[in-house]
Chains A and B, each alone.
Chain A
Amino acid sequence: MPNTSRRVLGLAVVALLGFALFNFPLLSLADGHSGPLGAPALLLYIFGVWAVLIVLAAVLRR
């Protein structure tokens, strides 16, 4: 039981973290640059964070 609530809490923290990473000012750090493949860095940043969140969610649900 404590483990479950720990994981639930962990996921909520990840959600908060995600909200911070997806918003000003952190989001603006990637703005205006261009990354690999010539894709906009902003786009790569968002998809990168997104993927990390999903991995964290998959790990934490176990």
Chain B
Amino acid sequence: MSTLPVATVLAVSLAYLGLLFVIALLVERRIERGRQLVRSPTIYALSLAVYCTSWTFFGSVGVAATQGIGFLPIYLGPTLMALLWPTLMVKCLRIAKRDRITTIADFIASRYGKRRGLAALVALICVIGVLPYLALQLKAVAAGFTLLTSGSASMRGGLFGDTALVITLVMAAFTIMFGTRHLDASERHEGLVAAIAFESVVKLCAFLAVGLFACFVLFDGPAVLFAEAAAHPRLSALWRFETSAGGWFDWSVLILLSMAAVTLLPRQFQVAVVENVDEAHVRRATWQFPLYLLTINLFVLPLACAGVLLIGPALAADDYVLGLPMQSGHPYLALLVFIGGTSAATGMIIVETTALATMISNDLVLPGLLHRAYAADLGRLLLLIRRGAILIVALLGYLYFRYAGEARSLVSIGLISFAAVAQLAPAFFGGLYWRLGTRSGAYAGLLAGFVVWGYTLLLPSASHSGWLPAQWLIEGPLGIVWLRPQALFGMDGVTAITHGVFWSLLANAAAYVGVSLATRADAQESAQAALFVGALQRDAERPIPLWRGGVALPELRALLVRILGEARAQAALEAYRNRHGGRVDDNDPGLLQHVESVLAGAIGSASARTLVASIAREAPLGLEEVMHILDEASQVLHYSRALSARTRELRDANRRLQELDQLKDEFMSTVTHELRTPLTSIRAFSEILADNPALDPDERARYLGIIIRETERLTRLINQVLDFARLEQGEAQWRIEPVALGAAIGDAAASVRQLFDDAGVALEVGPVPDDWWVRADADRLQQVLLNLLGNALKFAPPRRGRVEVSATRDGASVCVAVDDNGPGVAAQDVETVFEKFRQSGSNLTAKPQGTGLGLPISRHIVERFGGRIWVQPRSGGGASFRFTLPLEESA
């Protein structure tokens, strides 16, 4: 096996890391110079591919060589998850942007009321849980380096005595340079993301190169490779599911586990949520990210087959990717592959430790410092803490590798971390979609899950490495068999990972749901729960004010300066001032809110809340008040609904107005017509009289008679119109007194009897008792009766016509009916005949005579008397106009 000089490998590796750094630097320079780099959605999708680490690069082939297609669920899960991103990820993004979320610990703590205790617990789970994962990267790079330079996989000895430690320190140094250049973690690391996207391209190309090399150089195409593999007894067995990948349940659990991991891993949350610049990028990533996963997995099985066929047990299966070009005498291809693998590991380590360091500083260390009065620049201290945290996390990863992970395969180490991070799933997904989840529930679930994870997965992994006596794994602690950590309650027949994931998540979810249902959320929590669960609703953007009073401006300023430094504090206040029309008052609760959110970007939401609470004169709002505010928010919604209902009413009213307007036009033409007819005849007869002075006296008298009648008709018309206008405006004079109904009807009948006789219409008046007195205005009552009688006469057929007037008593009122045997009133006109300007019959056909105001006037009058008027069809044809009037109490 040909090897490469250490110096060459070292130089190329460092040059590559340098190249990454230069890319990051250039991007940040451009941004600092104000040139907003157009961040394409593809860069976002590529940065998500930080999911593919050296686990993928070296470990997948290792799994494929020993367990067949068992390497795939880890990529199928994220593919399915990506399909859910357009709803899930967008929701997270909205929340994160509003609350300036910086880490997954911050996110979960924020959901359950921004308490530091919960943030610290999540941070702790993440740090401990991810250590094996970091160890895996170090192991892969160290193993690769050793293999490349010495041809064997032993990692001790060599130039630096301990390759892995050197790699750890180099990686930590690079991470510090990349990840902690600025304080505000919510201000994105654009340079870092660009470098990550670049390394994603490099690792993909390197892996495809070695895959093509194996298929087409080492073998004559995939067909030959597969044919040879099929002849190999162990390989062909790997191609069958039952004999390779474990049970179906293990398979499904791995898919679900990786779905959780791709969402909850601190580095995935970092690139997917914190570093996201545009919500729209998620849509492209929905298919680009799965495409990346598919592509990088294409050659895994061919490489595994080639490795088994050509290398066999001479190397660990995890080393096949590198071993194949090495063994066939292509060391420089091997170097390229090594750079690809280093790329995969570097990306993971940089982003993961940056995210973990942010958690450690914001959620574990900072809370202890907040209560002490540091006069010094807290911002600089924070950066120091973060850099220290990166170094510590990297070293802890190294320790895990050295003492627990050295002997194990890459993927089995990584899965332990997946299982740890999956413990966040109930609190995270529950928090996003279940409003009743409480902080106590989250605590209970996380603790239960974490403890079971530690017992079933972490401790056994330490035991396997000889760190703990292995005896208890087989016999159970203190000889209690059913407590065996890898066969809890005797559960057997599944892999250790499935076993651990099953029990830990069962305990976790049960505790989360159970305790959530048993406890009540406090005010802050309820408010956050509503904001999280309802994050996709349209009005969720509106921040809910959670501070009652405010704080004097200088005090807030001092706080901001302490954390952010002078310039950034000034900028933050400017931003608020600009948004509020140039004015900032003391004691403005909105400003307090703003300061809290700005601080959250730098030190996490829980710490920010504590800090602001420490200077706010008033306590945060209580439960009642928060509920009230939420109610207000829902009332706004209610109002807007009411408003739209009102709009609808207005639209209806408007339509009615237009209708009335049209009716008025019709009325005008009716009135004009009615006025013109008498005017025309008056004028015609006047002209005859003027032109023929010698007209004979009889003729002259007849013409004058016509002129007088027409003038009277004209006067009557005009009076009616004026009368109606007066009634409409309520200006009419009323003299309400007891009126004898019988006499009134009699008078009215007498005054029209001549007209009825002339038309040959019979008029009959029924008996009305003398003691029926009604409260009315005698003249107006006459008007109503005359209107109704005139109306009846108008519609009664000449000569056969018959009109009856009658009155009947109905309790405290009396009902007067005027019945005719005319054509009757059509059903659709029953309501409208009493409306002004309406006349029975179509406008297009011949109009009945009159202004059309008689009935509306009558209705006004009757209603003024406290009665009501209507028309109903008469049995046997004709119409029956009826009105009621209150009876005067007979004295």
- Residues of A with Cβ closer than 8 Å to B? 7-8, 11-12, 14-15, 18-19, 22-24, 27-28, 31-32, 34, 37-40, 42-43, 46-47, 50-51, 53-55, 57-58, 61
Q: How far is the CA of A14 from the CA of B287 in the complex (A)?
A: 12
List the B residue with the shortest CB-CB distance to A61: B283
Chain A hits for B226, CB < 8 A: 37-40
Could you tell me the dominant secondary structure of chain B's interface residues?
helix
**Given A23-B255, A46-B72, A31–B83 Cβ distance below 8 Å?**
no
Instruction: Identify which of B252, B283, B290 contacts A50 (C-beta below 8 A).
Output: B290
Flag if A54 contacts B291 (CB, 8 Å).
yes
Q: How far is the CA of A61 from the CA of B285 in the complex (A)?
A: 10
Is there a chain A Cβ closer than 8 Å to B758's Cβ? Answer: no
Flag if A61 contacts B80 (CB, 8 Å).
no
Chain B hits for A15, CB < 8 A: 80-81, 83-84
Instruction: Identify which of A7, A22, A57 contacts B255 (C-beta below 8 A).
Output: A22
Flag if A50 contacts B294 (CB, 8 Å).
yes
**Given A37-B226, A61-B287, A53–B251 Cβ distance below 8 Å?**
no
Flag if B86 contacts A37 (CB, 8 Å).
no
Flag if B86 contacts A47 (CB, 8 Å).
no
- Distance (whole angstroms) from the CB of B455 to the closest CB of chain A: 29
Q: List 12 A-B contacts (CB under 8 A).
A: A11-B84, A11-B86, A14-B83, A15-B81, A15-B83, A18-B76, A19-B255, A24-B248, A42-B240, A46-B72, A50-B79, A57-B83
Flag if A50 contacts B76 (CB, 8 Å).
yes
A-B contact count (CB 8 A): 97
List the A residue with the shortest CB-CB distance to B255: A22
Q: How far is the CA of A52 from the CA of B464 in the complex (A)?
A: 42
Q: How far is the CA of A29 from the CA of B669 in the complex (A)?
A: 85
List the A residue with the shortest CB-CB distance to B226: A38
Flag if B294 contacts A61 (CB, 8 Å).
no
Chain A hits for B242, CB < 8 A: 31
Instruction: Identify which of A19, A23, A24, A43 contacts B69 (C-beta below 8 A).
Output: A43
Q: How far is the CA of A34 from the CA of B226 in the complex (A)?
A: 10
Chain B hits for A40, CB < 8 A: 69, 226, 239, 301
Is there a chain A Cβ closer than 8 Å to B37's Cβ? Answer: no
Is there a chain A Cβ closer than 8 Å to B87's Cβ? Answer: yes
Q: How far is the CA of A8 from the CA of B89 in the complex (A)?
A: 12
Is there a chain A Cβ closer than 8 Å to B223's Cβ? Answer: yes
Is there a chain A Cβ closer than 8 Å to B284's Cβ? Answer: yes
Flag if B240 contacts A23 (CB, 8 Å).
no
Further contacts, 5 of them, CB under 8 A, given A15-B83, A51-B294: A11-B286, A22-B255, A38-B230, A40-B226, A42-B69
Is there a chain A Cβ closer than 8 Å to B241's Cβ? Answer: yes
Flag if A18 contacts B69 (CB, 8 Å).
no
Top 10 closest A-B pairs, CB basis? A38-B226, A40-B239, A15-B83, A24-B248, A57-B287, A58-B287, A61-B283, A31-B241, A37-B223, A11-B83
- Distance (whole angstroms) from the CB of A43 to the closest CB of chain B: 6
Flag if B83 contacts A42 (CB, 8 Å).
no
List the B residue with the shortest CB-CB distance to A46: B72
- Distance (whole angstroms) from the CB of A4 to the closest CB of chain B: 8
- Residues of B with Cβ closer than 8 Å to A? 69, 72-73, 76, 79-84, 86-87, 222-223, 226-227, 230, 239-242, 248, 251-252, 255, 283-284, 286-287, 290-291, 294, 297-298, 301
Flag if A42 contacts B239 (CB, 8 Å).
yes
List the B residue with the shortest CB-CB distance to A51: B294
Flag if A38 contacts B86 (CB, 8 Å).
no
**Given A39-B226, A54-B287, A28–B76 Cβ distance below 8 Å?**
no
Chain A hits for B239, CB < 8 A: 34, 40, 42-43
Instruction: Identify which of B86, B223, B284 contacts A8 (C-beta below 8 A).
Output: B86
Q: How far is the CA of A18 from the CA of B248 in the complex (A)?
A: 16
Q: How far is the CA of A19 from the CA of B286 in the complex (A)?
A: 16
**Given A23-B252, A31-B240, A61-B286, A12–B82 Cβ distance below 8 Å?**
no
Instruction: Identify which of A12, A22, A46, A58 contacts B87 (C-beta below 8 A).
Output: A12
List the B residue with the shortest CB-CB distance to A18: B80
Instruction: Identify which of B84, B86, B222, B241 contacts A27 (C-beta below 8 A).
Output: B241
Flag if A57 contacts B290 (CB, 8 Å).
yes
- Distance (whole angstroms) from the CB of A47 to the closest CB of chain B: 7
Q: How far is the CA of A24 from the CA of B740 in the complex (A)?
A: 96
Chain B hits for A28, CB < 8 A: 241, 248
Chain B hits for A18, CB < 8 A: 76, 79-80, 83
Instruction: Identify which of A32, A50, A51 contacts B240 (C-beta below 8 A).
Output: A32
Q: How far is the CA of A31 from the CA of B76 in the complex (A)?
A: 17
- Distance (whole angstroms) from the CB of A54 to the closest CB of chain B: 5
Flag if B87 contacts A38 (CB, 8 Å).
no
Flag if B80 contacts A19 (CB, 8 Å).
yes
Q: How far is the CA of A38 from the CA of B301 in the complex (A)?
A: 13
Q: How far is the CA of A57 from the CA of B286 in the complex (A)?
A: 6
Q: How far is the CA of A57 from the CA of B284 in the complex (A)?
A: 9
- Distance (whole angstroms) from the CB of B244 to the closest CB of chain A: 9
Q: How far is the CA of A39 from the CA of B300 in the complex (A)?
A: 13
Q: How far is the CA of A41 from the CA of B79 in the complex (A)?
A: 21
